[in-house]
Amino acid sequence: MYSRTAPGWTRNQFSGLAVLVSTPLYPKDLEVVLSRIVLAFRSFFAILFGGKLPADIAQEFGFFEKKPQPVPKPVLQLKPADGAVQMLGILQRDSRLIDFLMEDIAPYSDDQVGAAVRSLHDQCRKTLDQYVRLSPVIDGVEGTFTKVDTNDPAVVKLLGNVPASGKAPGGLLRHKGWRVDNVDLPPLVPSQNTAIIAPAEIEVE
């Protein structure tokens, strides 16, 4: 006997489909179905021609457009040498110190070198006073007896007949030493090439 059901369908499935088709749609259900069909068509053509869902449809289905995240600012990675190179750059800018140190001064007379050094001294000191506050390690009179308050060789360097222990109660002050109390250099920017002490200069005619 031949079966009257569609090929590949069982009798139970066919019966369930028949019930579904024969079940009448109430006005409210029909409105929901039509609304979803309209949304489907709108979504299809919006994506086809615009590349994205309309805002009201996206909100209807719980999709929200992601706001662009702010791009983090590049962080300047400072190396220990950057501050020293920056200070050399400032001294070169204000007093041409690097030019003077790299110049071969052998052909010049002592008077010529002395005149150049006087001007260089004034300009370098002015720059140091502006960016670095210095003070003596031992604020005393050079050539007088001074007590040693620390055994740190980085702070006080002993000269002459130093005991085997490396410690001494005191001695004649030969040099006050210098310490940095404050450094106030201009802030570096990420785009700045810290390896350049001074840019090359080209005059365009």
Same domain assignment for residues 178 and 96 = yes
Structural domains in the chain (count) = 2
42 and 114 housed in the same domain: no
- Look at residue 1 and tell me whether its pLDDT is greater than 90: no
Task: Give the H or E element holding residue 132.
Answer: strand 132-136
Mean pLDDT throughout 163-186? 92
89 and 39, same domain (yes or no): no
Q: Which long-range contacts (CB under 8 A, 24 or more apart) does 143-148 make?
A: 143/172, 143/173, 143/174, 144/172, 144/173, 145/170, 145/171, 145/172, 145/173, 146/170, 146/171, 146/172, 146/173
Are residues 161 and 91 part of one domain?
yes
Range of the domain at 39: 16-60
Whether residue 48 is found in the same domain as residue 87: no
Verify that 97 and 149 share a domain, yes or no.
yes
* Whether residue 27 sits in one domain with residue 105: no
Does residue 201 fall inside a structural domain? no
Based on the domain organization, do 41 and 112 belong to the same domain?
A: no
Do 87 and 26 belong together in one domain? no
Say how many residues make up the chain: 205
| pTM score, whole prediction | 0.56
Point out the least confidently predicted range of 35-44, 123-132, 159-168, 178-187.
35-44
Judgement on whether residues 24 and 110 belong to the same structural domain of the protein: no
Dump pLDDT digits (tens) for 145-171: 999 998 888 899 999 999 988 889 999
- The mean of the pLDDT values for the chain is 79
Judged by average pLDDT, the poorest of 29-33, 39-43, 110-114, 181-185 is 29-33
Reported as a pLDDT band with limits 50, 70 and 90, residue 82 is confident
**pLDDT (tens digit per residue) in 20-68:** 445 554 555 666 666 667 666 676 666 666 666 677 766 666 666 667 7
| Residue 172, helix vs strand vs coil | strand
Q: Is residue 68 part of a domain?
A: no
Shared domain for 86 and 40, answered yes or no, is: no
Q: Would residue 2 count as lying in a domain?
A: no
Same domain, 91 and 158: yes
For residue 97, tell me if it sits in a domain. yes
Report which of residues 79 and 144 the model is more confident about.
144
Residue 53 is assigned to a structural domain of this protein: yes
